[in-house]
Structure formats: structure tokens, C-alpha cells
Amino acid sequence: MKVRESNFELLRIVAMLMIIFGHFFVHSNLLVESSGTLQIACRIILAIIIIHVNLFILISGYFGYKSKFKISKLLALNNATWFYTILITIIALIFLNISFTKLELLKNFLPIDFGTYWFIITYMLLYLISPILNTFINNSTKEKHLIVLIILFIVLSIIPTLTHGEVLDVVRGYSLYNFILLYLLGAYLSKYKIEYKTKYLLIIFISMCTLNILGYYLGCHLIDSTKNSLLNYLGISLRDGYITYSNPLVIVQATSFLLLFKKIKLKSKLINFIATNVFGVYLIHDNYILRDLYTKMPLSKTSLNVILIGILFTIIVFVLCTIIEILRKLLFKLIYNLKISNYLRSKYTKYFNKIEKHINE
């Protein structure tokens, strides 16, 4: 069994910490309700950490093009999602005194995600089509792969950002389009061993952050001050594209960040173990029921101390959710070892094997 590379596993952990930190600012309304220096600080922080989702998909492409499709992986992700949706709904009913409509309860108890987790749905769709993408990746030349990447980058990133989705709506990167682009990009970086010197990667990363922040404030200025329709249109594009996953600046920024982590030489069983639980951390903390509690936190909208509170909040949430996910996996392991589970697995495994064989051929 191949040992996971700890530098990339650490990157998964960092990306999840970024997600929690970003959700702290967004869901607590700090981003829109803060003012003065805190508002500027929030904007800078989000410009730095907005790469989190893109990092996960880049990593998926980096390693995924060499992997075989497994139905069990899809089922495991769906089962974990279903488990937490039911568990959190029950907790909300009993302990948080939250009421649900009959339709909401039905949706929460069915083994189908009705939009609770946009990332999980899109990720599962990406995994379903990954065999097709992998066929292209493994049978294409470097030149053809690069040409496809350039075309997709222009069509799915640059044009939608400049036209704020009017030419092609990629839903600000919350879509399968963006995931396909990032998956192919991650695979390209891995297959052709793309590397740059650390100082250049740092320059690229800082430059992309800076341009993104400056673009946001320039966009706000153009919208507020100009009567020129073209400049106003550009202003809206710069302002609205600031923290979108499909923003070309954000994609380049995420790519440089991944290549920086590629240079780290690290072996750690602890890091590898913790990284296996990050999806569980996401499923718990970003459930829509718990997410609504963020808005009720009594936070100052002017003091920079809120940033320290956000860091502490991020660490606590990550640790607690990791522990819960470990316990969830132990519970599932006990269930899987039951005689009835072994019997059912023996019945459907042979059919899954046939399907996987055809898909992976």
C-alpha cells in the first residue's frame, strides 16, 4: 500500500482550516457588517484563503488521474453525508428546539442530498465522470493537455469573470465546470512534474492576492463614481469576482500555493491520519442547521480582536469535528463488521466489481 505524501495531506488540513475560517467571516456577516480597519482586514484575509476549495480539487486531480474508479468511495461519502444530516437534524429537534416542516424532515432523512452540501454533490459528480477525464489525461500528449487547459481557462474562468456570468454562467465556481478545469490542471501539474523556484511561487501568490484585493476596491470605486456604462460594467465584474472560485487570479493563486507545498519534504503518520477526517469536518461544521448559529454569535463589528476570536473558533471547530468524525468511523466499522453487513456486502460486491471493471477498462 502506497504511503500518502504528508505535504499534500498537510495541505488538505490547511485548506479545511481556511474553509472554517472563511465561513466564520461570511456566515457571521462580518464581511458585510464590519467597518473601518476590520473591514479591510476581513477583505485581505478572504483574498488569501479563498483558494481553499480549489486546493481540494487540484489535489484530487493531482493524484486522481492515476486512480481506479470505485463505487465504494461514492457510497462511503454519501453514507457519511446522510449520517450527519440525520444526526444533526435529531440534535436540532431535541436540544436546539429547532422546528422543521414535514418536507424538510423528509429531505433530511432520505439518503439523497437536496442541496445541503453543494461541494459534496459537485465532488461526487466530478468523481463519476473522472474515468472519462482520466482517459483523456493518460492518453493525451503534454501539448494537447495544455491546449485544452488554456481553452477551458479562458472559457470557464476569464470570460465568466469579466462578464460576471452573462456569457457563460459557471455559478462563481460553485459548479462542475470549475471542478473539471481544476481537476485537469492538478493532473497536468502532477503528470508533467511542473515546478518553479520557491521565490517565484511566493511572488505569484502574493501578486495574485494583491491584484484581487486592489481589483475589488477599484471595482467598488468605479461603480460608485463613474457614469460610464462600460466602466461600471467592469467595476461590477471586479467587485463580484473578488471571492469567486472561478476567478483566474484565485485559480493561479491556488496553483502556486499547491506547488509551494509540493516542495515540502514531510513524513508524518499523525498528519496523514488527521487529513483522512477533513471531509467529516466539512460535513459537520457546514451543515445548514449549524451554519445558521454563526449569525447569532455576538461579535464586534469594529474590533480587530474578532480575528483572534475567528482563529480560536477555527481551531476549536476543527478539533471537535475531527474527534466526532473519528468516532463516526469507529461506529461505521462496528456496523460493517456485523454478520448482516458482511452478508449484504457479499451480495452486491460482485456486481460493483463488474461495473468498476467496465468503467476502468
Q: What is the mean pLDDT of residues 245-261?
A: 97
Q: Max alpha carbon distance in the chain (Å)?
A: 72
Which tops the pLDDT comparison, 226 or 159? 159
- Residues with Cβ within 8 Å of 308's Cβ and at least 6 positions away in sequence, in order, are none
What pLDDT does residue 252 have? 98
The three cell numbers locating residue 116: 445541503
pLDDT band at residue 313, thresholds of 50, 70 and 90? very high
Which residue ranges make up each domain of the chain? Answer: 6-360
Question: How large is the average pLDDT for residues 106-120?
Answer: 84
Give the pLDDT score at 337. Answer: 81
Element (H, E) at 350: helix 339-360
Amino acid at 111: P
pLDDT higher than 70, residue 1: no
Task: Out of 191-200, 219-228, 266-275, pick the least confident.
Answer: 219-228
| pLDDT on residue 339 | 76
Cβ–Cβ under 8 Å, residues 60 and 305: no
**∠356-359-360 over CA atoms, to 5°?**
85
Q: What CA–CA distances, in Å, run from 257 to 12, 14, 48, 49?
A: 12, 11, 10, 10
Query: pTM for the full model?
Result: 0.94
Q: Which amino acid is at 157?
A: S
Q: What is the radius of gyration, based on Cα positions, of the chain?
A: 22
Note the pLDDT of residue 281: 96
What is the arithmetic mean of pLDDT over 187-210?
A: 96
Joined together, the cell numbers standing for residue 226 give 463613474
Q: How far apart are CA 281 and CA 21, in angstroms?
A: 13
> Helix axis angle, 198-225 relative to 229-240, nearest 10°?
130
Question: What mean pLDDT comes out for the span 153-163?
Answer: 94
CA–CA separation, 113 vs 93, rounded Å? 19
Residues of the chain above pLDDT 70, percent:
98
Which region among 128-137, 176-185, 234-243 has the lowest average model confidence (pLDDT)? 234-243
For residues 82-105, give the mean pLDDT.
Answer: 89
Q: Rounded mean pLDDT of 147-168?
A: 92
Q: What is the pLDDT of residue 360?
A: 81
Check residue 291 and give its pLDDT.
80
Report the pLDDT averaged over residues 25-33. 85
Nearest Cα to Cα of residue 61 among 180, 156, 151? 180
DSSP for 191-211 reads: HTT----HHHHHHHHHHHHHH
Q: Provide the mean pLDDT of the chain.
A: 91
Quick one: pLDDT at residue 297?
78
Lookup: cell for 295: 449569525
Model confidence at 130: pLDDT above 60: yes
The CA–CA distances, whole Å, from 287 to 16, 23, 75, 98, 339 equal: 15, 11, 19, 14, 32
pLDDT at position 3, please? 65
Query: What distance in Å separates the CA atoms of residue 238 and residue 241, rounded to the nearest whole number?
Result: 5
Q: How confident is the model at residue 2 (pLDDT cuts 50, 70, 90)?
A: low
Residues 35-87: tens digit of each pLDDT: 889 999 999 999 999 999 999 999 999 999 999 999 889 989 999 999 999 99
Cα–Cα distance, 332 to 76 (Å, whole number) = 10
